[in-house]
A and B are shown apart, each in its own frame.
Chain A
């Protein structure tokens, strides 16, 4: 599990500010994912990436931007944070070759005031 890390672990920001959540994995997994977890909604996919420079929208992409210039990093940016984006954010990664176990990072708890 130490192979996938997230930073920061906790973040408080103000409405309208830009904030970037970082995700780093050391397994050279092709796929990486960003989820948000809210009470009553389970885990919802924001964006995912199949490889460096290949990203696609998930279920709830509005208000978020991602990039993947290197295989090991997958940052998530909230361009103008809103209170509705207060949530716990999990990054995950998995190997290629079809559906496989996703390994989750420790999560980032983001509060937008």
Chain B
């Protein structure tokens, strides 16, 4: 089955700097890679996702890159702000029209702290 590794487990950056979180996955059949943000005491919420037919996707200050050959994908946050402080989770899914295609396997999470 799929295994997702996420690094680093904690990350502290100065406000205005960039933050990068990296994930690797094991199943080459996976083709959907979402990122979730979880604020303290709240539910996880999707912030960006990418499918395997795309190498990069941007949404304002957030971008995700995918390298299918190396089986890794990364989250990039530019011009960080205090409200970016949260736990971020990457995930991978086999996708497609197969049983269990909707399943997500999550990484262990990265606690991001933005220092003012």
Contact = CB atoms under 8 A, between A and B. Distances in A.
Interface of A: 1, 31, 33, 35, 40-45, 48, 50, 56, 58-59, 90, 94, 96, 98-102, 104-107
A94 B102 contact: yes
Interface residues on B, range: 20 to 34
Interface in B68-116: 89, 93-97, 99-109
Contacts of B108: 40-42
Contact of A98 (B6, B44, B96, B107): B96
Contact of B34 (A33, A48, A101, A105): A101
| Interface SS, B side | loop
A43 B101 contact: no
Given A42-B109, A43-B106, A99 B43 contact: no
Contacts, number: 67
A94 to B, nearest CB: 6
B65 interface: no
B45 A99 contact: no
Contact of B95 (A1, A40, A42, A99): A99
B43 A43 contact: no
Interface in B1-51: 1, 6, 31-32, 34, 42-46, 49
